[in-house]
């Protein structure tokens, strides 16, 4: 089945220790998105790639970076995680239209 896969499902890191979250897709979609969702809040878009073009949201902290080495993979790097970065991180893909397809998410804990 074509899908969006996020690894790991659960990630624990230490305060200030860099962490990388991974997303892969077999849908061959050209757009990939990263969202942050905190408890009882709406998913919030951090940034997205349209093909190789990176589009950052204005209020995304510099602490968050992303890489897309090829169509299938996209990474979220958090350079110095703080306690406030503990959240669910959702990856999504689309063909450039409005409907996005989501992975199961990575729940990040910061100790």
Residues in the site for another protein, rule: CB under 8 A?
4, 6, 30-31, 33, 40-45, 48-51, 53, 55, 90, 92, 94, 96-105
Nearer to another protein, 13 or 44 (CB): 44
CB of 15 to another protein, least distance (A): 26
* Least Å from the CB of residue 75 to another protein: 17
Report the chain's terminal Cα–Cα distance, integer Å.
36
The nearer residue to another protein, 83 or 99, going by C-beta atoms, is 99
> What is each CA distance from 89 to 1, 92, 98, in whole angstroms?
22, 10, 20
Phi/psi at 38 (5° precision): -95, 160
Phi-psi region of 40 (alpha: psi -120 to 50; beta: other; left: phi over 0): left
Minimum distance from CB of 44 to another protein (Å)? Answer: 8
């Amino acid at each position: 089945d074509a899908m969006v896969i996020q690894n790991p499902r659960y990630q624990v890191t230490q305060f200030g220790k860099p962490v990388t979250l991974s997303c892969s897709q077999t849908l061959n979609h050209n757009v990939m998105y990263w969202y942050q969702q905190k408890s009882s809040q709406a998913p919030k878009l951090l940034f997205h790639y349209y093909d190789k073009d990176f589009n950052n949201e204005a209020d995304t902290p510099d602490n968050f970076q992303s890489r897309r080495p090829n169509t299938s993979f996209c990474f979220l790097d958090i350079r110095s995680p703080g306690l406030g970065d503990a959240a669910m991180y959702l990856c999504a893909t689309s063909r450039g239209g409005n409907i996005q397809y989501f992975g199961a998410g990575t729940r990040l804990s910061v100790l």
